[in-house]
Amino acid sequence: MPYQTINPFNNKLIKEYQTHNDKQVEEAVSAAHALYKSDWAQGDIKQRVKVLHKLSELMASRIDELAEVVSVEMGKLIGQSRGEVQICADIAKFYAENAEEFLKPVPYKSDLGEAWVEHHPIGVIMAVEPWNFPFYQLMRVLAPNLASGNSVIVKHASIVPHCAETFEKLIVEAGAPKGAYTNLFISQDQVASIIDDDRVQGVALTGSEKAGAIVAARAAGKLKKSTLELGGNDVFAVLDDADIDKAAKAGAQARVSNAGQVCTAAKRFIIHEKVADEFLKKFTEHFKALKMGDPLDKSTTLGPLSSADAVKTLSKQVDDAVKHGAKLHFGGKKVSDNPGNFFEPTILTHITRDNPAYFEEFFGPVAQVYVVKNDEELVKLANDSHYGLGGSLFTRDLTRARKLASQIETGMVYVNSPTDTAAELPFGGVKRSGFGRELSDLGIKEFVNQKLVVLTAKS
């Protein structure tokens, strides 16, 4: 697939990018490995976190400029793009300030002698990243690995090459040496060759379930560590005692943020039967009030999908859901009178377990609404999913919320808030949503050698 910048608001081609050949790939891997073997990676962490401090400052000082790059290339609303740039600056700063503490030796009590675990870099990390958060996904992998001393090579999504280039230039400007972070415009076959290379010791992927399975299998075949952050079919549960006005507003935003193209977006709305009608009415009103338009226009509240292919996929999913018995409560079609990749905000109800939509992830502004009688039914429905990434619960009863949050099979649960992200909180899921964690103290320890040292008394 060619690397191209196509504005999803009007489908106009802005620029095509030259791909990297095998010789350039070899040069990149060699430089990354050489840096790992140098004092940069093996020496004092202070030289590495200094780069992260500078990177944070650069991004924080260029929020508007960088946000426009994101919005033009993949269609994100400009306000949300600014938020993405800011969280990137926050993540860089977080690891700059905390990495040294996270990587300190950890003592263990043992009868065998003085024991501790040290944290060392392992080498070159190959990252495959998606388009929906084109800076944030890169920062999640770059910041902890740069701090720990690993070198990072990245294959970004083919529809966001400008973001990929821009991010790499920022890291160079921040003072990172050659090999610390390298962006490559390469094919899937070239990615496979890099994973096979003995100098590469880890693989991180954020993307689709299909891509994750392929990459993880390749890594496992070479006995290499991998982390996967894949799809999600997150629940947004509203209990009978919830503030319905708040829940409906938060639910609508949680479904249509980034035009619904978020792994942790609210997708399955599970509503207690006592408040189902009221919730659906207010939820629908929020959908009706959305304004589609130019993502650079501050008044726009629903931007385009990232590509024409994304619209085709979503249209087919909705059509198939209706063919199998789902009720189209609102929306449901591609916006035909616009050259961009717009899809109507959509609400589906009456989805049964034999409907393919029941288990599918809809990557766009399509909500599924289910009605349950009690908490037991809620948990059963929530857990009847191939995915387990995030989820939300809305209730005034926090004791009830704690109990339900513990029962839902997912990597993250937020109470009275849509699923969110922060540098200091771990991010990741279970089941087909992947494995491993990013961000927080957990993220920095995914690709380090946790080496045990035991010092016994002289005999």
Tokens 């859901």 -> residue: 321
Angle at 311 between CA 13 and CA 321, to 5 degrees: 170
Q: Is 273 a catalytic residue?
A: no
> Quick count: other Cβ atoms within 10 Å of Cβ 111?
5
Type and span of the H or E element at 434: strand 434-435
Give the separation between CA 159 and CA 106, rounded to whole angstroms: 43
Decide if 205 contacts 211 (C-beta within 8 A): yes
Q: Which of 349, 365, 266, 237 is nearest to 310 (CA)?
A: 365
List the beta bridge partners of residue 204.
Answer: 127, 227
In eight-state DSSP terms, residue 457 is: P
Dihedrals phi, psi of 154, to nearest 5 degrees: -125, 130
Helix (H, G, I), strand (E, B) or coil at 235: strand
Q: Helices 161-173 & 46-61, crossing angle to 10 degrees?
A: 130
Decide if 393 contacts 237 (C-beta within 8 A): yes
Q: Which residue in the list 229, 344, 438, 446 is annotated as catalytic?
A: 229
Active site residues: 229
